[in-house]
Chain A
Amino acid sequence: MSDLRSNVEGLLAAGNHRAARAALAAAVLTKPSTATCHVVADKLTQIDPVEAGLTPVKVAYLTNYTVDPLLPLLAARALPSGLTVTTYAPGFDLWMQELVEPSSGLRQFNPEVVIVDLLPEQVAQDLTTRFLALGREGVEQAVNAAVSVIENGIGALRQWSKARLLVSALPRPLGPSLGIIDAIPSGQKAAFASINERLRDLCQSAGGHLVDTDRLVAEVGWSGWRDYRMWSIARMPYGNAAMHRLADEHVRYLRALMGRGRKVLVLDLDDTLWGGVLGERGEHAIDLGGTHPGSGFVDFQHAIAELRRRGVILALNSSNDVDEVLGVMRRHEAMVLRPDDFSAMRVNWQDKAENMVALADELNLGLDSFVFIDNSDTECARLRDALPEVLTCQLTGDPSGYGPWLRQSGLFDSLGYSDEDRQRGEMYRDEVKREQHRQSIGSLDEFLESLQMELTAEHVGDATVARAADLTQRTNQFNMTTERRTADEIRGWREARDRVALVFSLKDRFGAQGIIAFAAMQITGGRAVITDLLVSCRVLKRHVEDAILAVLTEHAAARGAEQIVACVRPTRRNAPFIDFYPSRGFSASDDAAPAFDPTLQLFTRRGRIPRPKHIAIQATEAPLHS
């Protein structure tokens, strides 16, 4: 630990914040002990987020217990995901007071994410400690009372904050009053289930998420979940294991909420997808099949295949002979994953870090959306050092544990599940075909012509609102304002007369690419303000963004708006596209109306922008044609 501290101090003294980040993240990944987390959380405060490529996020905990020991665990565990967390917690049980008081520390902190984690014995004391004294009506009242406490808190928060919200479900009691018959409809289990059902509805209408506490308790086990000793000494309710697991669960949400979700799973082959070295043993002697240890690798492949169906893009990065590998993948009867499951592969004798960069290029995705899984100490250490943006995970121990580990890892958690997720792997494979096609054709113009692209613009509807929100969460590069929107927020715009919210889908001769862009405008008094414009990175450089801009200007014109105002919020990750509007005839606007967020840059131009050639545009609504 002393080594870690002095190593990081040395790197910081030399101004190498990126390497300091890499060293701290590697320490967390290698051994995320409480002591490591304390050192990492401390040193993290000295790292410049911009230099180190970290996304800052302000998180407030609203609890009715002493939350201090959890805070460094959260900060440290968030680092490998590219997040640098600043936390705030009101004094003991002052959360409601700080929500309401205008000058409270909480309100000055102005959190981006609020986590409400209340203990059942506090918020539902009667249901926990004197359940059998309540009677049917008493139980109902106690359920209502518990829900109202949280409902009032959320109501108070929403008076002044648009922060993203996580609310912990209340876990069912460990020792229910009715013992072995508690599962009957009038037991405590049912009472807590009914609280949690209502909390879920509450979260949905407040644009928040319900954290499934019972699942976490089941993973850790009740005996490790609560520490009654520390509760009685210091109002610290959780055991060590519980705090680590809670912090990890919260990090999974933070990643998804802050656009730091991982999208690509890159895999090694030998001793990762099968046991043994293919080049030495040959196709028939690798460990893969119905018996140990091969069965562990089969199970691991099943877990990977399920991630692919969840929307994760699979790729290979392995030192092997590519023909030999393809042979195994096509012919081996125990292989679950087949060549078509991978959207890209680098199977060769090149350096794996170089391969990784090439994969990112080919898939047109940032390295910070990559996870790499390998079994080798040296390869993992090399990757963590060379490419800290990639989350490198090392497989250790018996192969039978690989599948269970991956399923519980939450590495790829995201906040939605849509048709696009199911088809993503295929879409990216088409993408690679498109790229090969491009290389076979001389001029860009000819290539674009040959794609036969068709862009469809539609108002956001019930079927597409989830995907629209998902795009705002996931898109970091071509995203002009990086506003993360919830489905409910976007749904609300459909009622507003001055709002236009559109989703765009694209198809071409290689296949449908689904909904690839989202844009929103606010049109008032002859002026259209483009508040949101984001395009999935896999369709960029084909003038799709120009077609979208053309549609937006047509739409504005149809509503009588001649002046177009475009908003840009520069971030580290949208930097390559920051000149989009100026290069399309927009000029910087001095119309800095105070209503606009000061972090936004404004650009303006007048009139319609012509549609680009090569893209046929279908618009479902009359105004779009005018």
Chain B
Amino acid sequence: MSTADRVKSVVAAVLKVPEQSLTPQSSPDEIQAWDSMRHLQIILGLEEEFGVQFAADEIDGLQTINALCAWLDEHRG
């Protein structure tokens, strides 16, 4: 699976939405369920899925599927 697919799978699970409804631009602005608590749960889910850790001050800035994918591609071994 590509990074994008794996990210979508985690985001969809936490937000309780179908994976097909997510696009690279999906963000809290367009998905109501994507609140700050869910955002942190997405981060926890991604950390577990990819075996990485986001820095505390990065978490808030990564607000789209695209941004999350880019960060993950850059940071995982």
Contact = CB atoms under 8 A, between A and B. Distances in A.
Nearest to A239: B44
Nearest to A37: B13
Contacts of A5: 18
A5 B8 CA distance: 14
Nearest to B41: A69
Contacts of B20: 2
A1 interface: yes
A34 interface: yes
Given A1-B9, A68-B37, A233-B40, A42 B48 contact: no
Interface residues of A, number: 20
Nearest to B43: A230
B40 to A, nearest CB: 5
A35 B56 contact: no
Given A69-B40, A234-B37, A240-B48, A35 B10 contact: yes
Nearest to B37: A68
Nearest to A40: B13
A391 interface: no
B31 to A, nearest CB: 15
A291 interface: no
A441 B49 CA distance: 61
Given A1-B12, A233-B59, A34 B48 contact: yes
**Considering residues A33, A35, A233, A240, which has the most beta carbons from chain B within 10 angstroms of its beta carbon?**
A35
Contacts of A486: none
A234 B56 CA distance: 10
A229 interface: yes
A39 B45 CA distance: 12
A586 to B, nearest CB: 49
A33 B48 contact: yes
A2 B12 contact: yes
Main secondary structure of the interface of A (DSSP, over half): helix
B45 A232 contact: no
Given A230-B44, A240-B44, A35 B14 contact: yes
A174 to B, nearest CB: 18
A236 B37 CA distance: 10
Interface string B1-30: 000000001101110101110000000000
Interface in A15-49: 33-36, 38-39, 42
B73 interface: no
B18 A66 contact: no
Main secondary structure of the interface of B (DSSP, over half): helix
Interface string A426-464: 000000000000000000000000000000000000000
Given A2-B12, A232-B56, A35 B40 contact: no
**Considering residues A1, A66, A240, which has the most beta carbons from chain B within 10 angstroms of its beta carbon?**
A1
Contacts of A236: 40
A36 B40 contact: no
Nearest to A244: B48
A35 B16 CA distance: 10
Contacts of A38: 13-14, 16, 41, 45
A69 B16 contact: no
Contacts of B55: 229
A36 B49 CA distance: 11
B59 A35 contact: no
A1 B13 contact: yes
Nearest to B10: A35
Contacts of A229: 53, 55-56
A180 B41 CA distance: 36
Contact of A68 (B19, B41, B47): B41
Nearest to A35: B13
A564 to B, nearest CB: 52
B48 to A, nearest CB: 5
A68 B39 CA distance: 12
A42 B40 contact: no
Interface string A90-109: 00000000000000000000
B45 A34 contact: yes
A492 to B, nearest CB: 43
Interface in A47-92: 66, 68-69
Contacts of B14: 34-35, 38
Given A69-B40, A229-B56, A233-B56, A42 B12 contact: no
B13 A36 contact: yes
Nearest to A38: B13
A35 B49 contact: yes
B16 to A, nearest CB: 5
A5 B18 CA distance: 8
B1 to A, nearest CB: 10
B59 to A, nearest CB: 7
A165 B59 CA distance: 36
A36 B13 CA distance: 7
Contacts of A68: 37, 41
Contact of A35 (B9, B36, B37, B53): B9
A562 B6 CA distance: 70
Contacts of B19: 1-2
Contacts of A230: 40, 44
Interface of B: 9-10, 12-14, 16, 18-20, 36-37, 40-41, 44-45, 47-49, 53, 55-56, 59
24 contacts: A1-B9, A1-B12, A2-B9, A2-B20, A5-B18, A33-B49, A34-B13, A34-B41, A34-B44, A34-B48, A35-B9, A35-B10, A35-B14, A42-B13, A66-B37, A68-B37, A68-B41, A69-B40, A233-B40, A233-B56, A233-B59, A234-B36, A234-B37, A240-B44
Interface of A: 1-2, 5, 33-36, 38-39, 42, 66, 68-69, 229-230, 232-234, 236, 240
Given A1-B9, A34-B44, 7 more contacts: A2-B9, A2-B18, A34-B10, A35-B48, A38-B45, A232-B56, A240-B47
